[in-house]
Chains A and B, each alone.
Chain A
Amino acid sequence: MNMSHSKSALLRQFASALAAVSFMAAPVMAAEGEEGAHGGGSHHIERQDWSYSGIAGQFDRPQLRRGFQVYKDVCSSCHGLNRVKFRNLVQPGGPEFDEEAVKALAAEWPNQIMDGPNDEGEMFERPAKLSDPIRGPYKNEKEARAAQNGAFPPDLSLITRARGVHNDAAWYIHVPMMLMDVITGYAEGGSDYLYAILTGYEEPPEGFHLAEGMNYNKYFEGNQIAMVQPLPEGGAVEYEENAGAKASLSQNAADVTAFLAWAADPSMDQRKQLGWTALIYLAITTLLLWLAKKRIWARVKH
């Protein structure tokens, strides 16, 4: 199931080499810096180097684990992850936590599961089990808005697929960029956007009118965001020593983004592995069919 790290790194190198020799690479890379911008009319959202970028990228297990820790310690106080079940944290392709540890985690999860009716006809709350969703703190949107000054912290299960980076480049750059994205398999717009938002908090510029209860974020559309800066400078979440990285704002942000990218697309590793198998098979078969076709057509002049 797991592609080893060296193998996936090799594939990624191959993919970037492919990109480099492509005739469009140079002008497009230059163009990205100058022209590419997102819809907010504010700051250009940079593309990050994700372990799961492109056609060869795979999730980095330790990063998913750190990312879950950030979600648990920070995000989960407002945001649910309702489409993800605790059992998913155990399954291959994800953080692959130990099953017993996740059982214990589920049982202690602060947002319990509404169940019932019991024999008395009452609904009741009970601790979560492996088959239960990772619930957020609010029962429904109304409760969330009441608690959050009218703002609604969205469920994060699909967030990286539900967001993207808008391309406003001129057509003669936009079109080659699109082609380039198809060739390199760029599908991380949602991750780039999320990372930008998490790291985009700063003091509003002079003269900027910030509404009551809002925060300034240079990447957010309109620059006013209801969410308070979730990850402070220096990092909100300390990692264990063997976690593979040191806590910092950018590390926390990248880790939780990667975790949420997995949450939104848990079959990605498997999908890309199948992709390579399928492509190799299709390339060989197409070549064989073409040679066979040539052989057959060699019987007549054409």
Chain B
Amino acid sequence: MAKWWDERLPLPRMMHDQFIDFPTPRNLNYLWTFGGILTFCLVAQIVTGIVLAMHYQPSAAEAFNSLDHIRRDVNYGWLIQAMHAVGASMFFIAVYIHIFRGLYYGSYRAPREILWILGVFIFLAMMATAFMGYALPWGQMSFWGVTVITNLFSSLDQVIPGLGTAIVQWLWGGYSVSGTTLNRFFSLHYLLPFVIFGLVILHIWALHVAGQNNPTGIEIKTKSDSLPMYPYAVAKDAVGLFAFVILFAWFVLFLPDYLGHPDNFTEANPLVTPPHIVPEWYFLPFYAILRAIPDKLGGVIAMFASIAILAFIPWLDRSPVRSAKYRPIYKWFFWLFLISCLALGYLGSKPAEGVYVFWARIFTLYYFAHFLIVMPIVSSIETPTKTPRSITEAVLGEDEAAGAGAGVPAGAAAAPEHR
């Protein structure tokens, strides 16, 4: 059967080569299970989203009512709606872990630049999807979140008078956020996940061309450095995925509202703005950067730049080694960067006043300094600690590694770039 297919369309062959026999570094830790977890998140969001779209009414008059109808009357609607809303947060938790893992172990370094940049695009598409999805329940936070964020573009009036206003009205399809805006957001919210899906396929393709990075940051050199994806990596991925689903289920079934905001249980009212408008938690660091800059256009530029800058780090980091494990100075800056991002997230949830603004500026400054100053300078001056000669040596120690190779199970082929 497989042979019959392979002669006509070699899909079984490709799946076998790429997801069963594929050589994975033998030293991957649990942080490497997040790729699989993210694939699960995307599929879960698409499936629950398609179901919700069967019951949702994308109109200003009925959107809020239809959400309530889904939760109260549709069979298991309360479950599927909570899975989708919580799923968005889980998707971001996973993607942030995935990004920071890449940053720590240098997964963005050559030859994985395109892989990394595709990841940045996926992240951007995720943010756009999540933002438009949050508009759909048409609660107070939905409405005012859309108003505030789309108004960011009006800052372009500072560049060419009238340009920003024109763009904002084009986005809205009117002179304010309205049902027209809701309908186009619904359409795009349905479209974008499939764009993400396409990007993910490219991302995985690029990954399988370059091969996986690993905690040592050393490429697979010999057969003994790798293990076949099945059953080794698959078994580990399954553990990671189910552990992650425990967290997912905890929020869906015990705390479905915890990650949201109570104001979104009040229907959108264009005449009343809630006192504290905050975006969803996963946007808070960027929201803090936006508000840290006293200038409207400057804030918008800084916010977009904070994501765009990620695309350039393959060329900002010049260290001779990839993994921060062997970088005694940079390692500390990495943790400082992580703390800055968490702090920005906290500050984004606070009102933009007093001491909060001060700290938001400090951490914003470090956010950019980390990439533009620390990364190039530290990577030039620091002397890495002694790295193992191979992945095998990192796992087994020097003596055993010398004799390894024969004692490794079959199936672990050479790294793909050597084929």
Q: Collect the chain A residues with CB atoms within 8 Å of residue B258's CB.
A: 181-182, 187
A85 to chain B, nearest CB (A): 9
* Contact-residue bracket for chain A: 35 or more
Are B238's CB and A289's CB within 8 A? Answer: yes
Q: Which of A157, A286, A300 contacts B239 (CB 8 A)?
A: A286
Residue of B nearest to A282 (CB): B246
Query: How far apart are the CA atoms of A271 and B27 in the complex, in Å?
Result: 40
A114 within 8 A of B: no
Q: Which of A157, A221, A282 contacts B242 (CB 8 A)?
A: A282
Q: Which of A166, A278, A285, A299 contacts B409 (CB 8 A)?
A: A299
Are B395's CB and A301's CB within 8 A? Answer: yes
| Proximity bits, A261-287, B CB within 8 Å = 1, else 0 | 000101100011011001100110110
- From A22-30, A73-81, A290-298, the one touching the partner chain is A290-298
A61 within 8 A of B: no
Are A271's CB and B239's CB within 8 A? Answer: no
A231 to chain B, nearest CB (A): 23
A258 within 8 A of B: no
Query: How far apart are the CA atoms of A171 and B400 in the complex, in Å?
Result: 49
A162 within 8 A of B: yes
Q: Collect the chain B residues with CB atoms within 8 Å of residue A182's CB.
A: 250, 255, 258
B32 to chain A, nearest CB (A): 13
Q: Collect the chain A residues with CB atoms within 8 Å of residue B257's CB.
A: 161, 187
A83 within 8 A of B: yes
A190 within 8 A of B: yes
CB-CB under 8 A for A293 and B263, given A185-B255, A286-B246: no
- From B43-51, B192-200, B227-235, B316-324, the one touching the partner chain is B227-235
Are A162's CB and B263's CB within 8 A? Answer: yes
Q: Collect the chain B residues with CB atoms within 8 Å of residue A282's CB.
A: 242, 245-246, 249
* Contact-residue bracket for chain B: 35 or more
B366 within 8 A of A: no
Residue of A nearest to B392 (CB): A301
B298 within 8 A of A: no
Query: How far apart are the CA atoms of A189 and B257 in the complex, in Å?
Result: 11
Are B242's CB and A161's CB within 8 A? Answer: no
Are A272's CB and B254's CB within 8 A? Answer: yes
Are A267's CB and B235's CB within 8 A? Answer: no
Looking at B68, B71, B72, B275, the one whose CB has the most chain A CB atoms below 10 A away is: B72
Q: Collect the chain B residues with CB atoms within 8 Å of residue A88's CB.
A: 72
A174 to chain B, nearest CB (A): 8
B265 within 8 A of A: yes
Are B249's CB and A300's CB within 8 A? Answer: no
Query: How far apart are the CA atoms of A127 and B235 in the complex, in Å?
Result: 62
Q: Collect the chain B residues with CB atoms within 8 Å of residue A175's CB.
A: 346
Are A158's CB and B395's CB within 8 A? Answer: no
| Proximity bits, A143-178, B CB within 8 Å = 1, else 0 | 000000000001001100111101000010011000
Q: Collect the chain A residues with CB atoms within 8 Å of residue B53's CB.
A: none
Are A296's CB and B254's CB within 8 A? Answer: no
Q: Collect the chain A residues with CB atoms within 8 Å of residue B275's CB.
A: 39, 221
Considering only residues 160-213 of chain A, those with a C-beta below 8 Å from chain B are: 161-164, 166, 171, 174-175, 181-182, 185-187, 189-190
Q: Collect the chain B residues with CB atoms within 8 Å of residue A158's CB.
A: 68, 265-266
Are B254's CB and A289's CB within 8 A? Answer: no
A99 to chain B, nearest CB (A): 18
Residue of B nearest to A167 (CB): B349
Q: Collect the chain A residues with CB atoms within 8 Å of residue B262's CB.
A: 161-164, 189-190
A232 to chain B, nearest CB (A): 28
Are A289's CB and B242's CB within 8 A? Answer: yes
Q: Collect the chain A residues with CB atoms within 8 Å of residue B26's CB.
A: 300, 302
Are B232's CB and A297's CB within 8 A? Answer: yes
Are B253's CB and A271's CB within 8 A? Answer: yes
Are B254's CB and A290's CB within 8 A? Answer: no
Query: How far apart are the CA atoms of A166 and B261 in the complex, in Å?
Result: 11
Considering only residues 118-158 of chain B, those with a C-beta below 8 Å from chain A are: none
A134 within 8 A of B: no
Q: Collect the chain A residues with CB atoms within 8 Å of residue B265's CB.
A: 158, 161-162, 264
Are B68's CB and A83's CB within 8 A? Answer: yes
B399 to chain A, nearest CB (A): 12
Query: How far apart are the CA atoms of A193 and B314 in the complex, in Å?
Result: 50
CB-CB under 8 A for A300 and B227, given A161-B262, A182-B258, A283-B246: yes
Are A83's CB and B72's CB within 8 A? Answer: yes
A293 to chain B, nearest CB (A): 4
A253 within 8 A of B: no
Q: Collect the chain B residues with CB atoms within 8 Å of residue A130's CB.
A: none
Query: How far apart are the CA atoms of A300 and B71 in the complex, in Å?
Result: 49
B334 within 8 A of A: no
Query: How far apart are the CA atoms of A40 and B318 in the complex, in Å?
Result: 52
CB-CB under 8 A for A293 and B238, given A161-B265, A164-B262, A274-B253: yes
Q: Which of A55, A174, A266, A300 contacts B232 (CB 8 A)?
A: A300
Q: Collect the chain A residues with CB atoms within 8 Å of residue B227's CB.
A: 300
B363 to chain A, nearest CB (A): 13
Are B27's CB and A302's CB within 8 A? Answer: yes
Q: Collect the chain B residues with CB atoms within 8 Å of residue A157's CB.
A: 68
Query: How far apart are the CA atoms of A105 and B245 in the complex, in Å?
Result: 44
Q: Which of B79, B231, B232 contacts A274 (CB 8 A)?
A: B79
Query: How far apart are the CA atoms of A274 and B254 in the complex, in Å?
Result: 10
B28 to chain A, nearest CB (A): 10
Are A267's CB and B243's CB within 8 A? Answer: no
A7 to chain B, nearest CB (A): 17
B236 within 8 A of A: yes
A136 to chain B, nearest CB (A): 15
A63 to chain B, nearest CB (A): 21
B104 within 8 A of A: no
Query: How far apart are the CA atoms of A161 and B235 in the complex, in Å?
Result: 40
Q: Collect the chain B residues with CB atoms within 8 Å of residue A174's CB.
A: 346
Are A271's CB and B78's CB within 8 A? Answer: yes
A138 to chain B, nearest CB (A): 16
Are B246's CB and A293's CB within 8 A? Answer: no
B305 within 8 A of A: no
Q: Collect the chain B residues with CB atoms within 8 Å of residue A292's CB.
A: 235, 238
Question: Can you report 23 A-B residue pairs in the complex whose CB atoms are below 8 A from each other?
Answer: A88-B72, A158-B266, A162-B262, A187-B254, A187-B257, A221-B275, A271-B79, A271-B253, A271-B256, A282-B245, A283-B246, A285-B242, A286-B242, A289-B235, A289-B239, A292-B235, A293-B238, A293-B239, A300-B408, A300-B409, A301-B395, A301-B396, A302-B26
With A164-B262, A264-B265 given, name 13 new contacts (CB 8 A). A83-B68, A163-B262, A171-B346, A174-B346, A190-B262, A271-B82, A271-B254, A275-B250, A289-B238, A296-B232, A296-B235, A300-B409, A301-B396
